[in-house]
């Protein structure tokens, strides 16, 4: 990826969407959001690597999904209630809940690993927009990061104040009534991450996608399933792509013209795209 080009230029150079590795590539003994998970994602050719950010009680940033401490660390306390020394002493567990040798990496460590290698989607940016932005600038990955928040006033004010130059995508569910306003306000909005429960919602309509592309903006969609009860892509998911028919999941999103697909099955999605190319 040439980070001296804009993300729009890089998108025009490719036929298929950017592929985003959700929390890296993990499984078996390799926990998500670890240095190993991110190295594997790079080795498998991820265009984008998604990371989650958590902040310790004493103000240090780690790459970890807040709220999942009881699952991945077997900790009754969230990282926000732990000192950084306590976090650094912990070991993550694997998919069988067995302790591994992997530890929770710092944000600076992960950004340094990914520097000049892939776009970096920073989730949980709203945890501390000012502080996370400072780490991003310290490592020098401003041209690579894609940050996102919800569209609440506090988060957007934080983006405008501390990160107006970063590539930004708001989380949009159903109807998008924010991207034009953000653009006019001087935020470097490059598109929207769309969340849709059904196929007939505005943000996944052909008209909306065409309008966004005409404005030079990109569409981020998700094939991941975080919670089956929270439908975010009208069931066009990794699961249906793997156990039923990839045309019903990944293929549907590609045919819609989305510009990013976030997946937990990076290599399988890449293989599917390669087979489409052969047809």
Contact 115, 144 (CB under 8 A): yes
Percentage of the chain modeled with pLDDT above 90? 93
What's the rounded mean pLDDT across residues 177-187? 90
Strand ranges, E, within the chain = 18-21, 48-55, 61-63, 119-123, 145-149, 167-173, 191-195, 218-222, 260-263
- Cα–Cα distance, 131 to 112 (Å, whole number): 17
Tens digit of each residue's pLDDT (9 = 90 or more) over 141-159: 999 999 999 989 999 999 9
268 and 275 in contact (C-beta within 8 Å)?
no
Domain ranges of the chain: 7-53+113-278
- At 18-65, the pLDDT tens digits run 999 999 999 999 999 999 999 999 999 999 999 999 999 999 999 999
Please identify which residue in the block is written with the tokens 């505005």. 202
Of 214, 221, 225, 215, whose CA–CA distance to 256 is shortest?
221
pLDDT in tens, 120-145: 999 999 999 999 999 999 999 999 99
pLDDT score for 1:
86
Single out the residue of 32, 25, 52 nearest to residue 94, CA to CA: 32
Residues 6 or more apart whose CB falls under 8 angstroms from that of 161 comprise 129, 130
- The CATH architecture to which 7-53+113-278 belongs is Alpha-Beta Barrel (3.20)
Instruction: Inform me whether the pLDDT recorded for 273 exceeds 80.
Output: yes
Cβ-contact 179, 159 below 8 angstroms: no
The whole-chain average pLDDT of the chain stands at: 96
Q: What is the DSSP letter of 214?
A: H
Structure tokens that stand for 249 in this block: 């999941």
């Amino acid at each position: 990826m040439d980070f001296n080009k804009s993300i729009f230029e890089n998108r025009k150079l490719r036929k298929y969407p950017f592929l985003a590795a959700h929390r890296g590539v993990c499984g078996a003994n390799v926990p998500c959001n670890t240095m190993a998970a991110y190295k594997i994602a790079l080795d498998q050719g991820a265009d984008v690597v998604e990371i989650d950010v958590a902040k310790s009680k004493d103000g240090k940033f780690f790459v970890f999904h807040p709220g999942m401490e009881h699952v991945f660390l077997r900790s009754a306390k969230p990282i926000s209630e732990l000192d950084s020394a306590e976090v650094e002493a912990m070991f993550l567990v694997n998919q069988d809940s067995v302790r591994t040798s992997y530890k929770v990496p710092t944000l600076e460590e992960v950004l340094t690993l990914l520097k000049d290698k892939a776009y970096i989607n920073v989730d949980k940016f709203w945890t501390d927009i000012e502080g996370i932005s400072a780490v991003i600038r310290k490592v020098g990955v401003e041209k690579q990061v894609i940050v996102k928040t919800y569209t609440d006033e506090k988060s957007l004010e934080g983006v405008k104040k501390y990160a107006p130059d970063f590539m930004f995508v708001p989380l949009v569910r159903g109807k998008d009534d924010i991207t034009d306003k953000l653009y006019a306000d001087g935020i470097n909005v490059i598109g929207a991450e769309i969340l849709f429960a059904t196929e007939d919602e505005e943000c996944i309509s052909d008209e909306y996608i065409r309008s966004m592309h005409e404005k030079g903006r990109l569409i981020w969609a998700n094939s991941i399933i975080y919670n089956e009860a929270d439908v975010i892509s009208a069931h066009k998911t990794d699961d249906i792509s793997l156990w039923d028919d990839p045309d019903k999941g990944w293929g549907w999103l590609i045919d819609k013209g989305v510009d990013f697909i976030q997946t937990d099955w990076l290599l399988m999605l890449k293989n599917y795209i390669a087979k489409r190319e052969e047809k």
